[in-house]
Structure 1
Amino acid sequence: MIAVTGASGHLGRLAIKSLLEKTEAGNIIALVRNPEAVADLAAAGVVVRKADYDQPESYVEALKGVDKLLLISGSAVGQRIAQHTAVIEAAKANSVGLIAYTSILKADKSPILLAQEHVATEKLLASSGVPHVILRNGWYVENYTENMAAVLEHGAVIGAAGEGRVAAASRADYAAAAAAVLTSDEAQAGKIYELAADEDFSMADYAAAIAKASGKAIAYVDMTEADYVKALVGAGVPEGFAQVLADADSAIKAGWLTDASKTLSGLIGRPTVSVADSIKAHL
């Protein structure tokens, strides 16, 4: 039995979709706060169990009989260590055979603010005694393409990444990699995968790709980190999260979100989806 946390989320749903290509629906457990949100998965034969971060004891029950667990990192920045701790402790109590955790690229060395909770979770896993594998996911290309409407409206991509490059891959690519690891015949415990797209791009490249696909004039406007924070706050982004996004751009500028190993495409057995194709799909 393979369980997936956050199964109603973007990555969780895609992970289950990929797992369904490799194993029977009855071997998959969707862990969700609201079971009604995944009624379609239940109809397809996937086992659905309620598991709520705010009710840690729910995970003890939800992980009964689980052999492998995909622990998708929580989305509540600042609360994830406590949330992940509850899941790991429940997995240990149920003698789960393997946890696959979605961390961040180069987590152990990266200065990016978002890496801090991932590093803490990796340490929790190391001290837990539960066999585990780390999936260090790079940036999601959807971090950009899902905000394309504003880019098209204003004719500009804004940021503080300078000429830095990012190897952003699609959620579907990362989901496929997770499914490949969880269904592999090879022992996975102790492995760390640094995962990123085959090709990287700069923000100027991204703007040019949107211009080519849309037929509209799109430019990249580079800002200081402080000015980028102000622009994001002005657009309605909470200041704390704006700081996190601006910090990520600084990390891109310094080269922390690119990787040339092609480990991701090696796991999924095909090239990663290009940024141009991602843009076309979202347009």
Structure 2
Amino acid sequence: MIVITGASGQLGQLVISSLLKTLPASGIAAVVRDPAKAGALSAQGVQLRQADYNDPASLDAAFQGADKILLISSSEVGQRLPQHRNAVEAAKRAQPKLLAYTSVLHADTSPLGLAGEHKATEELIRASGLNYTILRNGWYFENYHNSIVGGPAHGVVLGSAGEGRIAAAARADYADAAVAVLTAEEPPQAIYELGGDHPFTMAELAAEIARQSGQPVAYQNLPQAEYKAALLGWGLPEGLASLIADSDIGASQGGLDDRSRSLSQLIGRPTQTLSDAVKAALTA
């Protein structure tokens, strides 16, 4: 039995869809906070298990009989460490053959503020005594959907990433990496740094948007505070605006760059290109 936490999220749903290409639905359990909102998963025949990262007893029930567990990191930034601690402790009690975890690129050295909780979670996992695989995911191209769609209308893409290169890939690429680990006969105890094959700058992203849309689009680099203010002006909540602006500063310092091509090696194909990502967003 392969158990996927956070299964109703965007990454979790893609992982399950990919697993179903090679495994029967009866061998997959989807852990969700609210089963009533997981109809799409239920329709695919997978077993729904209700659990909350804040409720250890629910995690014990959700992990029962698990051969392998994929711990998809909580979306509640600032609350992740205690939540992940609950999940790791429940996994220790369940004793699966593998605990896989979705971390962030270069978690141990990253300048990104959000890396701290991931680094601490990795330490919990390494100390657990379980066989583990850490999937240090880079940025998703989907993070730039609004910039790509709005760029032609506004003529500008804003950010604070400077000349930092960003090794983004499609969310589906990272999902397939998780599936490759979960379905391996002998899952490796390993840490994978995962990113797109061709890191790009924000200026290159803007240029690609301009090329495909036929409209002038330029990248405007802003100080962190000004970028955060712009995000707040677009209606983003305080916490998310701070996270995005901080992550851009981290990107300017190389925190989202990776040249290892470990992701494409793991999934056995090239990762999504910048051109294809822009095309997908513009034609959605």
| TM-score, length-scaled by structure 1 | 0.96
Moved over 6 A (4+): none
> Structure 1 residue 206 and structure 2 residue 205: aligned?
yes
Letter in 1 for 2:232: V
- CA–CA distance in structure 2, aligned partners of residues 239 and 52 of structure 1: 25
The match for 1:62 is 62
The match for 1:35 is 35
Equivalenced residues, count: 282
Structure 1 unaligned residues grouped into runs of 5+: none
Alignment of 1:154-193 (within 5 A): 154-189=154-189, 191-193=190-192
The match for 2:268 is 269
Letter in 1 for 2:179: A
- CA–CA distance in structure 1, aligned partners of residues 8 and 280 of structure 2: 22
Task: List per-residue Cα deviations over 1:227-252 (Å, max 9, x = no partner).
Answer: 11221222222333322212211121
- CA–CA distance in structure 2, aligned partners of residues 27 and 142 of structure 1: 29
SS of the residue 2:8 aligns to: coil
The match for 1:130 is 130
> Structure 1 residue 94 and structure 2 residue 97: aligned?
no
Query: CA 1:41–1:238 in structure 2 vs 1: closer, same or farther (change >3 Å)?
Result: closer
- CA–CA distance in structure 2, aligned partners of residues 123 and 152 of structure 1: 44
SS of the residue 1:133 aligns to: strand
Task: List per-residue Cα deviations over 1:2-48 (Å, max 9, x = no partner).
Answer: 01111111000001111112211111111001113222322322111
Shift of 1:87: 1.0
The answer to whether the Cα contact below 8 Å between 2:158 and 2:222 also exists between their aligned partners in 1 is yes
- CA–CA distance in structure 1, aligned partners of residues 263 and 118 of structure 2: 19
- CA–CA distance in structure 2, aligned partners of residues 185 and 65 of structure 1: 18
> Structure 1 residue 142 and structure 2 residue 171: aligned?
no
The answer to whether the Cα contact below 8 Å between 2:8 and 2:41 also exists between their aligned partners in 1 is no
Shift of 1:188: 1.5
Shift of 1:262: 0.7
Shift of 1:127: 1.6
Letter in 2 for 1:25: A
The match for 2:112 is 112
- CA–CA distance in structure 2, aligned partners of residues 99 and 53 of structure 1: 16
Shift of 1:147: 4.3
Shift of 1:215: 1.7
SS of the residue 1:54 aligns to: coil
State the superposition RMSD in angstroms: 1.3
- CA–CA distance in structure 1, aligned partners of residues 67 and 186 of structure 2: 15
The match for 2:195 is 196
- CA–CA distance in structure 2, aligned partners of residues 151 and 113 of structure 1: 27
The match for 2:232 is 233
- CA–CA distance in structure 1, aligned partners of residues 97 and 271 of structure 2: 29
Letter in 1 for 2:268: G
Deviates more, 1:228-237 or 1:79-88: 228-237
- CA–CA distance in structure 2, aligned partners of residues 46 and 58 of structure 1: 18
- CA–CA distance in structure 1, aligned partners of residues 166 and 136 of structure 2: 15
- CA–CA distance in structure 1, aligned partners of residues 89 and 127 of structure 2: 11
SS of the residue 1:16 aligns to: helix
SS of the residue 1:8 aligns to: coil
The match for 2:151 is 151
- CA–CA distance in structure 2, aligned partners of residues 40 and 118 of structure 1: 29
Letter in 2 for 1:3: V
Task: List per-residue Cα deviations over 1:84-143 (Å, max 9, x = no partner).
Answer: 111111111111221100001111111210100000100111122222110000111111
The answer to whether the Cα contact below 8 Å between 2:56 and 2:87 also exists between their aligned partners in 1 is yes
| TM-score, length-scaled by structure 2 | 0.95
Deviates more, 1:70-79 or 1:21-30: 21-30
SS of the residue 1:102 aligns to: strand
Letter in 1 for 2:39: A
The match for 1:52 is 52
Q: Percent same amino acid among aligned pairs?
A: 52
The match for 1:280 is 279
The answer to whether the Cα contact below 8 Å between 2:250 and 2:256 also exists between their aligned partners in 1 is yes
> Structure 1 residue 9 and structure 2 residue 4: aligned?
no
The match for 2:26 is 26
